[in-house]
Amino acid sequence: MKLLRVDMNELQVKWEPLPVVYNHLGGRALIAKLLLEEIPPRCDALGPHNKLIVAPGLLGGSGVPAAGRLSIGAKSPLTGGVKEANAGGTAGDALGKLELKAVVVEGQPSKKELNILYVTPGSAQLLPAGSLSGLGTYATTDRLKGQYGPDCTVISIGQAGEYLLTGADIACTGEGDQRSNHAARGGLGAVMGSKGLKAIVIDKAEARSVTFADPSLFRGAVKRFAQELVNDPKLGPKGGTHLYGTAAITGAVNEIGSLPTRNFSSGNFEQAANLRGEHMREIILARGGRIGTRCMPGCVIACRNLYVDEAGVPIVGTLQYETIALLGSNLGLGNLDDVARLNYVCNDFGLDTIETGAALGVAIEAGFARYGDFESIAGVLRQVSEGTALGRLIGCGAVVTGRVLGIRRVPATLGQAMPGYDPRSLKGNGVTYATSPMGADHTAGNAFGARNQVNPLAVLGQRELSLKLQIISAMLDSTGLCLFARPPVIADPQLMVDMLNGRYGWGWTNADLDQANREVLRNELEFNRKAGVTAADYRIPEYMREEPLAPHQVTFDVPDSDLDSVFTSL
Amino acid sequence: MAVDIELFGQLLPGTPRRRVLDLKRPVTVRETAHLLGLNPDDAGLVTINGVQREMEDVVPPHCRLCFFPYMTGG
């Protein structure tokens, strides 16, 4: 295994053997360790001392279903702390097959010129991006695929990343013609832009297979794991995640009163039925779109869709729950066509749909557009690519937008916008938003799936639940496993241990795995502490503690003492 | 007493998603599921007036009762 260092000062690349201390680390775990060891915690996130780290999970390239997610990390310009965001697609698999632990992008070019990094099994080189400058992610991908072949993987930024907007994300290509799997959160697209890196191209044609320490153990565990996924009522071929995608939960989140509506002013949206996964499926099938496709090689869940217009022309793929919540109900939009069109624009500019949806909600509250009025909302969003002052505000996310426009009701913690679950009526997520080193990020510990264990409206048990979920998330993000594929390894952690031991021959126990997951959080919390992040920065906004949320008329009332002690037993 | 019922996702495909049941006596959520022809084990979440409930809870008069399949958050 090796590291690829990319020096943007000198425009040179260097291969390094992997230091032994990093052997057991992948994805998010490796990012946390590298950040802590190599990046000055108080550095300017968009300056030369920050590093952009691209790392497949430990199972990347090994053929485990749904385990090819790619982690991307850096000090976040949005939160000021550690950030790891991950995306599906083919990049994690491709880098894993190259036995590449991470690509570490360092420094900053002296000239304001963009480059691309081209990676093959035996080589890597930086090349001028030339006319790719100023292009969106779709056009960038099309150009690069045209040049390097349809099977290559492209990781790219759009205009938002080039402008260094702190809501910028990073797009990754997937199977077939997919161009929009996004490592969305934390403004990592701006870090990539600050490095003068427009895209990374990974050549698949020469990618090899990985080696296994114990092929029999590995194959047995993978077979069991895949069968468990297929048998799961949520995930199998008759499960809601496959049939309706991530939007399967829209109706339920609305029903329990947690669907962000009109800048988080209600947990119910009167047009939610039009945004449900069930309705989306009917539309897509009637129009000739695609349902139940996969983003990663070998995934047996296949939750992806291709949303098309009335003429059957693709608008965006895939349309996901978080986007529907933040660009739909949060903006008062009850029409999936409208949401899909806003989604496309965000994807093309390279903007996080959660951050941007929250920022647009704040801008609407400030009077710059109207709830439910697609044209006024789209007009504001278009200004991001036009580079106007308002557009740049929106592109920098909800907190900056609220601060400049004088809006106090900003749904964010640690500088990052909340995803599609209002923490007042799903308090476990509130605890995660208020304690995770990632800030408001549902993927860091989503309590929605644990609603049968802990009452979402109660305070009791949320602290313990959030810690448990955050530890699990650290495992998923470090191995490259998709969130949706977690049930089998939660029910039987030995499955994950066997897959890792079969791949690497570590002889790990369940306890070793648990400690490794906890170490990820310890490293991230330590980085944030050194970066100057305080408990106050993590807190749920004051208005959510005071302003009751309809329909249950609840506030976020988990006491600070509970939040402060989440990691006591870590 | 009339109870407003809604089924979500893949529960009882091909049947109306919304219906009103006129219950002659107090019944549990589980009994209501049986009245609908729904296997209670297929329901991953039940809510009454937006609050999560259990199968043995009694259905109050004039409420909204929703049955959801098993789901997972993203």
User: What per-residue confidence (pLDDT) applies to A449?
Assistant: 84
Q: How far is A477 from chain B (nearest CA, A)?
A: 13
**What residue of B is the nearest CA neighbor of A252?**
B68
User: A278 and B9 in contact by Cβ < 8 A?
Assistant: yes
User: What are the beta bridge partners of residue A266?
Assistant: A261, A550
- Over range A292-302, report the average pLDDT: 93
Instruction: Give backbone dihedrals phi and psi of A134, rounded to 5 degrees, phi first.
Output: 90, -5
Q: What is the C-alpha to C-alpha distance for residues A509 and A486, in angstroms, rounded to an integer?
A: 18
Q: Where are the alpha helices (DSSP H) in A309-413?
A: 321-327, 336-349, 353-365, 374-386, 389-395, 398-405
- Over range A209-236, report the average pLDDT: 95
Residues 6+ apart with CB under 8 A from A460: A454
User: A443 and B74 in contact by Cβ < 8 A?
Assistant: yes
- Over range A243-254, report the average pLDDT: 97
Whether the predicted interface score ipTM is above 0.95 = yes
Q: What is the C-alpha to C-alpha distance for residues A532 and A466, in angstroms, rounded to an integer?
A: 23
User: What per-residue confidence (pLDDT) applies to B72?
Assistant: 86
Q: What is the C-alpha to C-alpha distance for residues A441 and A430, in angstroms, rounded to an integer?
A: 10
With vertex at residue A543, the alpha carbon angle to CA A539 and CA A548, rounded to the nearest 5 degrees, is 120
Contacts with B51 from chain A: Cβ below 8 Å: 256, 457, 552
**What residue of B is the nearest CA neighbor of A447?**
B73
**What residue of B is the nearest CA neighbor of A279?**
B9
Q: How far is B7 from chain A (nearest CA, A)?
A: 10
Per-residue model confidence as pLDDT tens digits over A130-171 = 999 999 999 999 999 999 999 999 999 999 999 999 999 999
User: What per-residue confidence (pLDDT) applies to A127?
Assistant: 98
**What residue of A is the nearest CA neighbor of B7?**
A251
Q: How far is A278 from chain B (nearest CA, A)?
A: 6
Tell me the helix, strand and coil percentages in chain A, rounded to 5: 45, 15, 40
Scored b (16 or more CB within 10 A) or e, A79-114 reads bbbbbbbbbbbbbbbbbbbbbbbbbbbbbbbeeeeb
- The DSSP-derived string for A182-204 is EE-GGGHHHHHHHTTEEEEEE--
Residue A347, pLDDT above cutoff 80: yes
Encoding tokens for residue A166?
């702190």
Task: Closest CB to A248: pick one of B47, B52, B71.
Answer: B71
User: A449 and B73 in contact by Cβ < 8 A?
Assistant: yes
Residue A327, pLDDT above cutoff 90: yes
Q: Backbone dihedral region of A449: left (phi > 0), alpha (psi from -120 to 50 degrees) or beta? A: alpha
- Written in H, E and C, the secondary structure of A205-218 is CCCCCCCCCCHHHH
- The answer to whether A199 and A133 are in contact (CB under 8 A) is no
Place of tokens 């899909």: A340
Per-residue model confidence as pLDDT tens digits over A495-544 = 999 999 999 999 999 999 999 999 999 999 999 999 999 999 999 999 99
- The answer to whether A27 and A40 are in contact (CB under 8 A) is no
Contacts with B50 from chain A: Cβ below 8 Å: 255-257, 268, 551-552
Place of tokens 């729950």: A321
**How many A-B residue pairs are in contact by the CB < 8 A criterion?**
88
Instruction: Spell out the per-residue pLDDT of chain B, length 74, in tens.
Output: 899 999 999 999 999 999 999 998 999 999 999 999 999 999 999 999 999 999 999 999 999 999 999 998 76
Per-residue model confidence as pLDDT tens digits over A434-463 = 999 999 999 999 999 887 789 999 999 999
Whether the bond between A90 and the residue before it is cis, its omega within 30 degrees of 0, is no
User: What are the beta bridge partners of residue B4?
Assistant: B20, B64
User: B68 and A278 in contact by Cβ < 8 A?
Assistant: no
- Over range A196-225, report the average pLDDT: 91
Q: How far is B44 from chain A (nearest CA, A)?
A: 9
Q: How far is B51 from chain A (nearest CA, A)?
A: 6
Exposed/middle/buried for B28, CB within 10 Å: 0-12, 13-18, 19+?
middle
3-state secondary structure of A358: helix
User: What per-residue confidence (pLDDT) applies to A207?
Assistant: 58
Total-model pTM:
0.97
User: What per-residue confidence (pLDDT) applies to A205?
Assistant: 65
**What residue of A is the nearest CA neighbor of B50?**
A256
Residue A206, pLDDT above cutoff 70: no
A197-202 and A115-119 beta bridge pairing? parallel
Q: What is the C-alpha to C-alpha distance for residues A69 and A267, in angstroms, rounded to an integer?
A: 31
**C-alpha dihedral (A476, A478, A479, A484), degrees to nearest 10:** 20
CA A563 to chain centroid: 24
User: B42 and A443 in contact by Cβ < 8 A?
Assistant: no
Q: How far is B68 from chain A (nearest CA, A)?
A: 7
User: A278 and B50 in contact by Cβ < 8 A?
Assistant: no
3-state secondary structure of A55: strand
Chain B residues with a Cβ under 8 Å from any Cβ in chain A: 8-10, 42, 44-45, 47, 50-52, 66, 68-74
User: What per-residue confidence (pLDDT) applies to A111?
Assistant: 86
Task: Closest CB to B74: pick one of A235, A257, A321.
Answer: A321
- The answer to whether A462 and A455 are in contact (CB under 8 A) is no
User: B10 and A457 in contact by Cβ < 8 A?
Assistant: no
Q: What is the C-alpha to C-alpha distance for residues A30 and A238, in angstroms, rounded to an integer?
A: 36
In percent, how much of chain A has pLDDT > 70?
Answer: 99
| Mean pLDDT score across all residues of chain A | 96
Residue A342, pLDDT above cutoff 90: yes
Chain A residues with a Cβ under 8 Å from any Cβ in chain B: 232-235, 238-241, 243-244, 246, 248-249, 251-252, 255-257, 268, 276-278, 320-322, 421, 442-443, 446-449, 451-452, 455-457, 483-484, 487, 551-552
- Over range A214-242, report the average pLDDT: 95
Contacts with B8 from chain A: Cβ below 8 Å: 251-252, 276, 278
Q: How far is A46 from chain B (nearest CA, A)?
A: 29
Residues 6+ apart with CB under 8 A from A47: A108, A194
User: What per-residue confidence (pLDDT) applies to A95?
Assistant: 95
User: A483 and B47 in contact by Cβ < 8 A?
Assistant: no
3-state secondary structure of A117: strand
Q: What is the C-alpha to C-alpha distance for residues A350 and A222, in angstroms, rounded to an integer?
A: 35
- The DSSP-derived string for A400-469 is HHHHHHT-----EETTEE--SS-TTTSHHHHHHHHH-TT-S-GGG---GGGTTTS-TT-STTHHHHHHHH
A40 HSE (CA, 13 A, CB side): 9
Residues 6+ apart with CB under 8 A from B7: B15, B17, B18, B36, B38, B66, B67
Q: How far is A339 from chain B (nearest CA, A)?
A: 18
User: A256 and B51 in contact by Cβ < 8 A?
Assistant: yes
